[in-house]
Amino acid sequence: MRMRILAKCLTLCLLFLCNYLSLGQTQGQDTNAQIERRVDNILAKMTLENKIRLIGGYDDMLVHAIPSVGFPQLRTADGPEGVRTWGPETAYAAGIALAATWNPDMARRLGESMGSDARAEGVHILLAPGVNIVRAPMDGRDFEYFGEDPFLASRIAVPFIQGVQSKGVVATVKHFAANNLEYGRSYVSSDMDERTLREIYLPAFEAAVKEAHVGSVMSALNLVNGEYAAENRHLNVDILKGEWGFDGILMSDWGAVHNGVASANAGLDLEMASGQFMSLETLLPAIESGKVSESTIDDKVRRIIRTAVRFGFLDREQLDVNIPLFNRAANKIALDSARESITLLKNEGHVLPLDRAKIKTIAVIGPNAWPAFPGGGGSSQVLPFAPVSILQGIADATDAKVLYARGLSADAAGLPLENDVYAKTVYGNALERAATNDVWGGPETVKIEAYTDKDFSGTPKILHSRRIDAAHLHTPIVVGGSIRYTASFTPIFSESHLFLISVQAEDSYKLWVNGEQVLEKKAGYDSQSTNWIELPLERDKTASIRIDYVPSQGHPQISLGVLPESQLVSEEAKRIAKQADAVIVSVGFDPSVECEGHERPFALPWGQDRLIQTISALNKRTIVTLTSGGNVDMRPWLDRVPALVHTWYPGQQGGTALAEIIFGDRSPEGHLPVTFDRSWEDSPVHNSYYAPLTKQGEIPRVTYSEGVFVGYRYYTSKNITPQFPFGFGLSYTNFSFTHLVVTPATSKVDDYSVDFDVTNIGKVSGSDVAQLYVGDPSSAVIRPEKELKGFDKVRLEPGQTKHISIKLDSRSFAYWDVIHSAWHVDPGRFTIYVGDSSENTPLKTDIVLKR
Ligand code: BGC
C-alpha cells in the first residue's frame, strides 16, 4: 500500500517536473514561443476524448482536470461585486457604481483587490467584468454594467481587467454581445445594424481584448440578429478571433448552448456550466462524419491550455492561503469605491452637508436604511462579512440622537433573499397589518376556482370559499391551468386604497376592482416585484375584487394586499420626522427585485413615493437617498425634496461612505454613467425595448431602432433636457473650465491634443470629472451631436487650478463605415466640447481635419 502511494506521488512529481522543465517556468517568464511549445507538447499527449472533456465544464463552476497531462482543474467564480464563492467575502461597489467614479485608477485598484480575493479563494477564472451597454433602467442587471457609453465602459473595463490579471487570475469580459435586457434573455434576439453594433455595443469588448488582453470572453445568452451568440460566427469568428486577434477562451454563458456542432463551428471554446451539447456523444460522430474537424477541437483545447500556461496555473497552486479573506486592505478599497461613486443629484439651498454642530436629532426612515443592500441580486451577489447599512453609517458618524423607523409596513427584519419568501413576507405582513388595524370591514371571503386550461374556460372546480386572513392567498396546485379568485372588500375609511399584488416573475394575472381591469402582468415580460395601484374607495361600500391568475409552474404563489392610504406610512415615522432637525429617507430596490433574470419597474416599489411625500411635508430638511442600479420615476417627489443622493449599490462600506458625504467630511464625487430620463416615455428606447409578442415558435426580436442614438447621444442631438444628464454629479464646491486650446499632437492629420484648465472656485476641496466630447457636423452620415472621447477626474483644493491635456486619435473622430467595413474619418469640421456633463460643456471650439 505504502509503495503504491509512494509510486503515485512519484508519478505526480515527475509529471509536474516534466511540465515544468519542458514547458517553461512561471507566469510572465515564458515567451509566446515557449508558451506555444508547452501547449503543443500537452496537446500532443491528449486523446480526442480528453480534448472533448476539456471543452465542457462540470459541477456548475469548474473546468475539468486532465491528470494524464498534468492539467489542473480550473475554478471559476462570479463577479463583479466581489469574488462569489458563497461567502463570506468582500463586497465592493457594483459595476455601475464603479463607472460612476469615472476613475480608471479606482477600477485598477478594485480589479487588483478582486484578483487577490480570487487567489485567497483558489479561483482561477473570475467571471467579470460585465460591459453590456445600459439601454433601459428596467434591465435587472444594469447595476453590474458600466453604463450607457462605450468609451467610459472601455476606460473602466481595461484597468479593471489589468488589475485582476496582474494577480494571476483570468478576467472574463461578458456577455458577448448585446445582452441588454433580462426578460426573455435566453430567447430574445437583439437586432441591430452593423454600425450600431460596432459603435455602441462592441467597443468595450474590443478594448478588453486589444488593450487589456483579457484571458476569457463569455458569450451571451441571447440571440444577435437572429443567431444565438454562442453560434454567431460573425461575432465570434470574424470579429473577436479574426479582426481583434483574441487568442484566449471564448466560454458560453451558463446554459447558452443549444447546438453542440453549430457552437463548435462558430468559435465557442468552452461550454459552461457543463458539456451538455459539446459532448462526446455529439462531437465524436460529428468529427467522424466531417461536420466538425479535429483541428477545430484542437484550437479550442489549445486556447484553454494556452490561457492556463500564460497565467501560471500549471506551475503553482492558485490558492494562496497567505492572503487574508477578511481583508482590511480590501475593505478600504470597498470604502473608496463607495466614496467615489455616490452621486449627489440635487442639493437645493445647500441643505447638505449637515452641520454636526447644529443637528441634534436625525431621523433615518425607509426600507433601504436597514439592512444594508451592498449589491443587486443574481450571480454577482456576494455575501459580505459585515456590511454597513445607511442607518449604521449615520449613527456611527455623529453624536446626535439617531431615530429610526422603517416607515412602511411589511418585510421589516432581515429581508430574505429568496423571491418567494420575500413575496410572502410582504403580503403576509401587509394583510396582517390590515387585519390587526381593523381596516377590513370583514368578515370577507374569497372564492377560489381552478381551471384546467390557461384560458379560464370550461367548468371550474370550486375549491372553497374561505375568509381572507393574515396570509397570502391560498394557491391550489394547477399544473398547466389557471385560477380565478373572487372576493369583496368593505373599507372602513373613505380614502384612496393601495391594491398590492405579487406573483413569481413568469406568472401572469389580471386584477379587476368593481368590474374594471386595473392591473395586468404578462408572463415573463414584467418584473417580479410587487405591482400596485391606488384606487379611491368609500366607507362601507363593498368593492368587488377578481384576479385571473395563470401560474407558470406547478407551485403557484400569489399574494394580495389592500391598504388604506392613511395607514401606509407609520405613525412612528411621522412623529420622528416632525421632531428631527433633519431626515434621511432611504428608498430604492433590493436584490430580490433588482436582479439578474428579471426586469424591475421604473417606479419605486409600492409606498415609497408616498413615504417621501409624507415625510418631506413634515420636515423641510428631508434628504432622499436612492439605492438602485439606475434611474427611477422621480416625478412624484423630486420637486418636494431639497436633496437627493444616489448611492447605487455601494458595496459593504456604503453606509460609512454615505455618512461622510452627509456630514461633509468629503465632497461627493460620483458622476452619472447613464442619462436619467424624466419619464420612461421620454427614453429613446421606449418603443423598442420590449419585443413585440410573437406566435408560438417564432423568435421574439428587439429592434434597436434608436441605432447609435442611445442615452445622451439622443438627448443632445434632439436638444431635449433629461431629468439628469449623463456625466452629471454635484459637489460641495464649484469648478470653472477655461483656456481651451486644441493643437495637432503629431504630424498625422487626426492626432490632436486638447488642453484646458479646471479651477476649484468654491470654498472646500472636491473633485470634478472633466469630460471631452466630439461632434462631427460635416459628416457624410448622421452622427450624434456629441460623443464622449476623453475624460479626466481632478481633485482640487479651493482656488487650485489644474491643467489638463487629453489626446485624441483617429478613432476619436471615426464612425463605422458599413460600405468598407472599417472605421472611417470624414475630413472637415469637428466640434470639441469640454465641461462636466453631456449638457454642461462651457468650452467649445471647432477644428478642421484635412484630407
Ligand atoms: C450569468 C453569468 C454568470 C453565470 C455563472 C449566468 O446566469 O448570466 O453572468 O457568470 O450565470 O454564474
CATH code for the structural domain at 342-408+573-666: 3.40.50.1700
In angstroms, the Cα distances linking 278 to 168, 217, 229, 282 are 28, 18, 15, 6
DSSP designation for 817 = E
Bridge partners of 547, per DSSP, are 485, 511
Ligand 1 centre to CA of 379 (Å) is 6
Nearest CA residue ID for atom 6, ligand 1: 254
**Which atom of ligand 1 is nearest the CA belonging to 84?**
12
HSE-up of residue 675 (Cα within 13 Å, Cβ side): 27
Contact, 84 vs 379, CB < 8 A? Answer: yes
Please tell me the pTM assigned to this model.
0.92
DSSP designation for 730 = B
In this structure, the dihedral spanned by the alpha carbons of residues 514, 516, 518 and 520, taken in order and rounded to 10 degrees, is: 120
Average pLDDT over residues 51-80: 97
Residue of 699 and 475 predicted with greater confidence: 699
DSSP letters spanning 158-205: HHHHHHHHTTT-EEEEEEETT----TTTTT-EEE--HHHIIIIISHHH
Which of 78, 139, 174 is the best mutation target for the ligand 1 pocket, counting ligand atoms within 8 Å of the beta carbon and taking the most? Answer: 78
* Per-residue pLDDT, 589: 95
Q: 752-760 and 189-191: which strand pairing?
A: unpaired
What is the per-residue pLDDT across 807-816, written as a single tens digit (0 to 9) for each? 999 999 999 9
253 labelled catalytic: yes
Q: Is the pLDDT of residue 748 over 90?
A: no
List pocket residues of ligand 1, CB cut-off 6 Å. 78, 127, 174, 253-254, 379
The DSSP H or E segment spanning 308 is: helix 294-310
Nearest CA residue ID for atom 12, ligand 1: 379
**What does the alpha-carbon distance between residue 78 and residue 272 come to, in Å, rounded to a whole number?**
13
Looking at domain 728-849, which CATH architecture does it have? Sandwich (2.60)
Residue ranges matching CATH 3.40.50.1700 in the chain: 342-408+573-666
Nearest CA residue ID for atom 4, ligand 1: 254
In angstroms, the Cα distances linking 415 to 208, 260, 426 are 37, 41, 10
Question: Residue 284's closest CA among 305, 258, 264?
Answer: 264
What phi, psi does 405 have (nearest 5°)?
Answer: -145, 140
Ligand 1 centre to CA of 251 (Å) is 11
Nearest CA residue ID for atom 2, ligand 1: 253
Ligand 1 centre to CA of 560 (Å) is 32
Bridge partners of 63, per DSSP, are 74
Which of 76, 132, 187, 254 is the best mutation target for the ligand 1 pocket, counting ligand atoms within 8 Å of the beta carbon and taking the most? Answer: 254
Residue ranges matching CATH 2.60.40.10 in the chain: 728-849
Nearest CA residue ID for atom 8, ligand 1: 253
Residue ranges matching CATH 2.60.120.380 in the chain: 430-567
Ligand 1 centre to CA of 418 (Å) is 18
Residue of 784 and 488 predicted with greater confidence: 784
What is the per-residue pLDDT across 676-729, written as a single tens digit (0 to 9) for each? 999 999 999 999 999 988 888 899 999 999 999 999 999 999 999 999 999 999
Which of 59, 139, 379 is the best mutation target for the ligand 1 pocket, counting ligand atoms within 8 Å of the beta carbon and taking the most? Answer: 379
**Which atom of ligand 1 is nearest the CA belonging to 76?**
5
Map grid coordinates 454562442 to a residue: 230
CATH code for the structural domain at 430-567: 2.60.120.380
Q: Is the pLDDT of residue 70 over 50?
A: yes
**What does the alpha-carbon distance between residue 536 and residue 607 come to, in Å, rounded to a whole number?**
16
* Per-residue pLDDT, 26: 37
The maximal CA–CA distance of the chain, rounded, in angstroms, is 89
What phi, psi does 844 have (nearest 5°)?
Answer: -155, 135
**Which atom of ligand 1 is nearest the CA belonging to 144?**
9
Ligand 1 centre to CA of 253 (Å) is 6
Question: Residue 769's closest CA among 805, 808, 813, 735?
Answer: 735
* Per-residue pLDDT, 425: 29
Average pLDDT over residues 662-684: 98
Which of 59, 127, 382 is the best mutation target for the ligand 1 pocket, counting ligand atoms within 8 Å of the beta carbon and taking the most? Answer: 127
Q: Is the pLDDT of residue 411 over 90?
A: no
Nearest CA residue ID for atom 7, ligand 1: 254
DSSP designation for 455 = T
Query: Per-residue confidence at 527, pLDDT binned at 50, 70, 90?
Result: low
Question: Residue 614's closest CA among 593, 660, 645, 583?
Answer: 583
Altogether, the residues listed in the chain come to a count of 851
Question: Residue 705's closest CA among 196, 93, 157?
Answer: 196
Which is the CATH superfamily of the domain at 46-310?
Answer: Glycoside hydrolase, family 3, N-terminal domain (3.20.20.300)
**What does the alpha-carbon distance between residue 406 and residue 367 come to, in Å, rounded to a whole number?**
5
Contact, 807 vs 745, CB < 8 A? Answer: yes
Q: Is the pLDDT of residue 467 over 70?
A: no
**Which atom of ligand 1 is nearest the CA belonging to 185?**
8
Map grid coordinates 412623529 to a residue: 575
Nearest CA residue ID for atom 3, ligand 1: 379
Query: Per-residue confidence at 478, pLDDT binned at 50, 70, 90?
Result: low
Bridge partners of 534, per DSSP, are 498
Ligand 1 centre to CA of 380 (Å) is 8
Mean confidence (pLDDT) of the chain: 89
Q: Provide the grid cell at 335.
A: 470604502
Ligand 1 centre to CA of 784 (Å) is 33
Residue of 804 and 543 predicted with greater confidence: 804
> In the chain, what percentage of residues exceed pLDDT 70?
89
Contact, 99 vs 147, CB < 8 A? Answer: yes
**Which atom of ligand 1 is nearest the CA belonging to 174?**
9
| Catalytic residue chosen out of the listed positions 253, 590, 776, 792 | 253
Ligand 1 centre to CA of 272 (Å) is 9
**Which atom of ligand 1 is nearest the CA belonging to 130?**
9
